Amino acid sequence: MGVVKIGLEELYSDIILDYAKNERYKKEIQNAKKAEGKNLSCGDEITLYLKVEDNIIKEITFTGHGCIISQASASMMCEYLEGKTVDEANKIFQEIIKMSQGKEFDKELVDGIEIFSDISKFPMRTKCFTLAWHTLDDALNGKNI
């Protein structure tokens, strides 16, 4: 992914809309780890499916519904993490959370996803953006499965 940075006034850019509509990662995986996440403030729900072999994320998908931001974030996350190790995914998660809180973060680790770097200015949208990532953390660490 190339690095593209936008302000939140352009949050519903073509890139984010494309990811939100992308069905490539929106499906169930049989015999996978599974974690569910809900954003009670706006009704977003996600079920994450994760297949890990030899500490590598071989396949990652999701189902559920929600706003454009939550769906785009989930789709981007799946695309970005497939083929990465669990350790890499945990490090990326930490940087994504820092970014979503408006803190300094490692831009190399979140290459491409930094399109959402201004999300911290909009707390209600932050929850939408981080839903998939918190659900990933649950799946990787055996919570909510």
* CATH code for the domain in which residue 126 is found: 3.90.1010.10
What is the pLDDT, as a whole number, of residue 114? 84
Structural domains of the chain, count: 1
Residue 64 φ/ψ region, left for φ over 0, alpha for ψ in the -120 to 50 degree band, beta for the rest = left
Q: Measuring CA to CA, which residue among 82, 40, 79 is closest to residue 58?
A: 82
Host domain of residue 107: 13-140
What is the pLDDT, as a whole number, of residue 6? 46
Is 56 within the bounds of a domain? yes
Query: Which segments in the chain show pLDDT lower than 50?
Result: 4, 6, 8-9, 145
Is 5 within the bounds of a domain? no
- Spatial distance between the Cα atoms of 35 and 138, rounded to a whole number of angstroms: 6
